[in-house]
Amino acid sequence: MASLRVELGERSYPIEVGVGLLGDAACYRPFVRGQRAVIVTNTVVGPIYLAQVKQALHTCGLEVLEIVLPDGEAHKTDASLNQIYDAMLRARCDRSVTVIALGGGVIGDLAGFAAATYQRGVPFIQVPTTLLSQVDSSVGGKTGINHPLGKNMIGAFYQPQAVISDVAALNSLPERELRAGIAEVIKHGCIADAEFFAWLETHMPQLLARDPAALTHAVVRSCEIKAAVVGSDERESGLRAILNFGHTFGHAIEAGLGYGEWVHGEAVAAGMVMGAELSTRAGLISSQDVERVRALVKAAGLPFEGPSGLSEARYLELMAIDKKASGGRIRFVVLERIGAANVRGDFADQTVCESIRACARI
Amino acid sequence: MASLRVELGERSYPIEVGVGLLGDAACYRPFVRGQRAVIVTNTVVGPIYLAQVKQALHTCGLEVLEIVLPDGEAHKTDASLNQIYDAMLRARCDRSVTVIALGGGVIGDLAGFAAATYQRGVPFIQVPTTLLSQVDSSVGGKTGINHPLGKNMIGAFYQPQAVISDVAALNSLPERELRAGIAEVIKHGCIADAEFFAWLETHMPQLLARDPAALTHAVVRSCEIKAAVVGSDERESGLRAILNFGHTFGHAIEAGLGYGEWVHGEAVAAGMVMGAELSTRAGLISSQDVERVRALVKAAGLPFEGPSGLSEARYLELMAIDKKASGGRIRFVVLERIGAANVRGDFADQTVCESIRACARI
């Protein structure tokens, strides 16, 4: 087992990473108070892991309430949130209850936001069961729901008491979801750690084979990198933006194809190759470095090209929605080198289009 | 104009109190950033004050969006909250928008919670227009909505950028609402400041006549007292409970009669007399002190007796709902002397019943 700490002053919390943690009472004991816990999970994860988590909480002497929601981003809504509130209120949970989020990013966001707002805030523990949520959404305190007029429009920054990341839980993860998580792992190497990037170049087969030691290292190092960025910019005013490497292009791909066609990690993967291309055109990294990014994305079995049928003009149009939010210019995360990133808004449309074209069959 | 500061570390904020502030651009300028503001108000306050606030914000160079909700506690709901979200999203407000809560406690709670959760939190400014909200709900950062299964069940602790309390706005306040606000002012004297209590004994006629200087002093001193309590216990883990003096009995009165029959301040007023009675029976304050509390409540034109037809047994029953939440005992705020309070849970039902009977025509 490995452990790290997200440093956020009085809101600091630990992340425990290892094999078999989600059924281990000792992992929960230091972080629960009161007599009750509410496990929020979904219909896919619940049948596999709910019994183990429940057993561990019982061992801690807690009474356990279960809330099993339908699976998927389509359910990250007001309606699911109200389902959590209703169940907790009907069970007369008071402010000493601990909310346990057992599942991927959707469950973490929903349960975290419910915890942030139930009786003005109750403690919660994240037990992420996907690689994406272990390396990304469980760090940083973003919680919330979608609104018919936009994704993640309603939410709060709210930190958990602890994150318990069981890499054994990744054995039940569909292959495509595993690869999607690896995209964010690669991103962390790109923006912050050349050595980790090099480690990924040599250990990709082990990660894809779900080797526990390799997964533990990848999760820990990703969390350390994200935690360092978040720790210096909890409420996303500046530096935190470098975590969006590959995401501006990626969001355009997701929106252009219709959400769900490519999963987020796949769009980010192709987006990172575009971001690397843009970086070399800006005179920042060598074309060899672009090839390293492309090769690593390819080794992970992720798309290294944008989808066919999405024109450069359409990318620009879709990215312009982000542009409005930041005062007139599309801002991109670029690589200064492999292992260091920056945010810039001074690119000509033509340069952006060339970068897209170099990475897509249009 | 008087000014004080609520000290909460990085979440500290000022409260400005005076005459004519709500139409004064200079009051808003230091606290708004970005280019847009959203004023949330209701159908009673809006027609009187919205134009002035809007003008002041225009003078600050802001584009203004207005959201006018129906008036009253019955509208402190999910539906009103969604009305705010929808309007802000349709207007494409980003995270630089400032939310202005123009109204009483309901508007402050609703708009504050919308600000706390819109895109994970945007700045907001409280412009309370009732005495109750100026002396009570605008200090402390409690925001939220009611749920069909309980009042204030969904919410967040979220601090404003500033509170702008215009005592001139109290001129349009119905008499009954003014008196209800005075109940909380009296409470602050009871629990924390004997000198302020004595000042209230001599200045009640000026307060009821809405003398601006008297109102300014009462608002400032109340906010200072509440701010000091909140500052040492932001998330309500202990000390903050003394602010509930009169409220345990008061809640029973409100619930027993049906919410809305007596307004909150009226129920708290009679509840404070009961709390004073309980304090003397516990050997804490003299019967002369109980009479001072009773006389001050009476001078404010507030109920100094519980309503007829509500039995002691019914009080106990209603208060027992609070009991569950605090581990088996009904906890009461008692006065150690006029100007100092404490929380105790060691009263026999009989003592509680005698205190109620001494202050109610049963």
Q: Say whether pLDDT at A26 is over 90.
A: yes
DSSP class of residue A70 equals P
What 3-state DSSP class applies to B341? strand
Q: A142-147 and A150-157: which strand pairing?
A: antiparallel
Q: What is the CA radius of gyration of chain B?
A: 20
Side chain identity at B327, as an amino acid letter? G
Output the pLDDT for position A237: 65
**A245 to A227, A308, A322, A339, B226: CA distances (angstroms):** 16, 22, 14, 12, 46
Q: One of A244, A277, A292, A294 is an active-site residue; which one?
A: A244
Output the pLDDT for position A329: 76
ipTM of the prediction: 0.91
Output the pLDDT for position B284: 96
Query: What average pLDDT does range A330-349 have in this prediction?
Result: 93
Q: By C-alpha distance, which of B272, B336, B345, B266 is closest to B302? A: B266
Residue A345 in tokens: 């808004």
Q: One of A188, A217, A226, A281 is an active-site residue; which one?
A: A226
Output the pLDDT for position A327: 58
Interface check A156 vs B, CB under 8 A: yes
Distance, CA of A31 to CA of A25 (rounded, Å):
11
For residue A156, list chain B residues with Cβ-Cβ distance below 8 A: 116-117, 120-121, 156
Question: Quick one: CA dihedral A22, A24, A29, A32, positive or negative?
Answer: positive
Chain segment B68-77, per-residue pLDDT in tens: 999 999 999 9
- In chain B, which among 94-113 make CB contacts under 8 A with chain A? 94
* C-alpha of A22 from chain center: 19
Q: Kindly state the helix (H) or strand (E) to which residue B165 belongs, with its residue range.
A: strand B162-166
Task: Give the CATH H-level superfamily of domain B175-357.
Answer: Dehydroquinate synthase-like - alpha domain (1.20.1090.10)
Output the pLDDT for position B359: 94
| Active site (annotated) includes residue B240 | yes
Beta bridge partners of B163: B15, B126
Query: What average pLDDT does range A112-129 have in this prediction?
Result: 98
Which parts of chain B fold into alpha helices (H)? Answer: 25-28, 46-59, 78-90, 105-117, 131-132, 175-192, 194-208, 212-231, 247-257, 264-281, 287-299, 312-325, 349-357
Beta bridge partners of A142: A157
Interface check A327 vs B, CB under 8 A: no
Q: Kindly state the helix (H) or strand (E) to which residue A251 belongs, with its residue range.
A: helix A247-257
Output the pLDDT for position A33: 87
Query: What average pLDDT does range A143-148 have in this prediction?
Result: 96
Question: Can you give the residue ranges of every domain in chain B?
Answer: 2-171, 175-357
Residue A112 CA neighbour count, 13 Å, CB half:
35
By residue count, chain B amounts to 362
CA distance, residue A252 to nearest chain B CA (Å): 19
> Cα torsion for B107, B160, B134, B237, to the nearest 10°?
100
The region, left, alpha or beta by phi > 0 then psi within -120 to 50, assigned to residue A92 is: left
Output the pLDDT for position B290: 98
B149 with A90: CB under 8 angstroms? yes
Q: Say whether pLDDT at A128 is over 70.
A: yes
Output the pLDDT for position B278: 97
B166 with B20: CB under 8 angstroms? yes
Chain segment A310-336, per-residue pLDDT in tens: 999 999 999 986 554 555 678 999 999
Mean of per-residue pLDDT scores for chain A: 94
Output the pLDDT for position A333: 96
Distance, CA of B51 to CA of A62 (rounded, Å):
54
**B54 to A17, A73, B192: CA distances (angstroms):** 53, 39, 37
B56 with B28: CB under 8 angstroms? yes
Residue A197: band (very low, low, confident or very high) from pLDDT cuts 50, 70, 90? very high
Chain segment B303-347, per-residue pLDDT in tens: 999 999 899 999 999 998 655 455 567 899 999 999 999 999 889
Output the pLDDT for position B328: 65
Q: What percent of chain B has pLDDT over 90?
A: 86
Q: One of A177, A236, A305, A354 is an active-site residue; which one?
A: A236
Interface check A86 vs B, CB under 8 A: yes
DSSP class of residue B358 equals T
Q: What percent of chain A has pLDDT over 90?
A: 86
Question: Are A118 and B78 within 8 A, CB to CB?
Answer: no
Question: Are A156 and B92 within 8 A, CB to CB?
Answer: no
Output the pLDDT for position B37: 98
H, E, C per residue of B63-121: EEEEEEECCCHHHCCHHHHHHHHHHHHHCCCCCCCEEEEEECHHHHHHHHHHHHHECCC
Output the pLDDT for position B326: 55
For residue B79, list chain A residues with Cβ-Cβ distance below 8 A: none
Residue A106 CA neighbour count, 13 Å, CB half:
21
Question: Are A149 and B117 within 8 A, CB to CB?
Answer: no
Q: Kindly state the helix (H) or strand (E) to which residue A99 belongs, with its residue range.
A: strand A98-103
| Active site (annotated) includes residue A187 | no
Top residue of B36, B78, B84, B117 to mutate, by most chain A CBs within 10 Å, is B117
Side chain identity at B141, as an amino acid letter? G
Lowest mean pLDDT among A140-149, A152-161, B216-225, B254-263: B254-263
Q: What is the CA radius of gyration of chain A?
A: 20
Output the pLDDT for position A260: 74
Q: B162-166 and B13-18: which strand pairing?
A: parallel
Domain A2-171 - what CATH class? Answer: alpha beta
Lowest mean pLDDT among A77-91, A324-338, B293-307: A324-338
Output the pLDDT for position A169: 98
Angle (CA) B234-B240-B243 rounded to 5° is: 130
Chain segment A276-295, per-residue pLDDT in tens: 999 999 999 999 999 999 99
Q: Say whether pLDDT at A236 is over 90.
A: no
Of the two residues B233 and A176, the one the predictor is more confident about is A176
> Cα torsion for B70, B76, B82, B85, to the nearest 10°?
90
Output the pLDDT for position A322: 58
Q: One of B54, B76, B226, B281 is an active-site residue; which one?
A: B226
| Active site (annotated) includes residue B264 | yes
Question: Are A117 and B144 within 8 A, CB to CB?
Answer: yes
Measure CB to CB from residue B153 to each of A119, A157, A236 and give the nearest one. Answer: A119
Q: Say whether pLDDT at A110 is over 90.
A: yes
